[in-house]
Amino acid sequence: MMLTGTRTMLSQARLRDIVREVAAQPDSWRSLVRYDPAQRWYRLLQQHDDHELWLLSWLPGQHTGFHDHGWSAGAFTVAQGCLAERGARSSRPRRSVAVTAGAARSFGPWYIHDVRNSSAAPAVSVHAYSPPLTGMQRFDLVAGQLVASTAETGARW
């Protein structure tokens, strides 16, 4: 656990443990899942002083677009299906990495990535952020480079 200003940040390892623990208990979240053909569906599951936990569903083709999580570290695991994560180094996107059911990814503050459902089947994932999210920056891909486009605050992630 680290302190960032007056906020506590859980380690990436602890965030991975949290998302895996929740994903391994489908009876606690399965009935909450909804699928929205117009956009990714998401629901805040838990809010704590040092972290928050989200449940997301993904229909084929749905994705986040390139974004960061501001000052927050994060982790996600796929509870059902398969997702692909494409991170970025400097302002250049890297290759996509498949994230299959049970696999977890974690990252520190300001990490830029795009998560998508590239498969033909729906997917469900569990995400944790520490400290809880306060803002995100979105990026456009222009001529192979990521360019900051919009900043978001609040619960419209």
98 located within any domain: yes
**114 C-beta neighbours (distance < 10 Å), count:** 19
Q: Is the pTM of this model over 0.85?
A: yes
CA distances from 104 to 6, 20, 52, 128 (A): 28, 7, 16, 11
157 located within any domain: no
Query: How many structural domains is the chain composed of?
Result: 1
Query: Which H helix or E strand runs over 13?
Result: helix 12-23
What residues make up the domain containing 21?
Answer: 2-151
pLDDT of residue 148: 93
Can you tell me the distance from the alpha carbon of 11 to that of 60, in angstroms, rounded to the nearest whole number? 31
pLDDT of residue 6: 53
Kindly report the CATH number assigned to the domain that includes residue 68. 2.60.120.10
- Counting Cβ atoms within 10 Å, is residue 111 exposed (0-12), middle (13-18) or buried (19+)? middle
156 located within any domain: no
Can you tell me the distance from the alpha carbon of 133 to that of 53, in angstroms, rounded to the nearest whole number? 10
Q: Can you list the positions of beta strands (E) in the chain?
A: 2-4, 7-9, 41-47, 52-58, 73-80, 82-89, 92-100, 104-107, 113-116, 123-130, 135-142, 145-153
pLDDT of residue 157: 52
pLDDT, averaged per 10 consecutive residues of the chain (157 residues), comes to 65 98 97 96 96 98 96 97 93 92 96 97 98 95 93 72
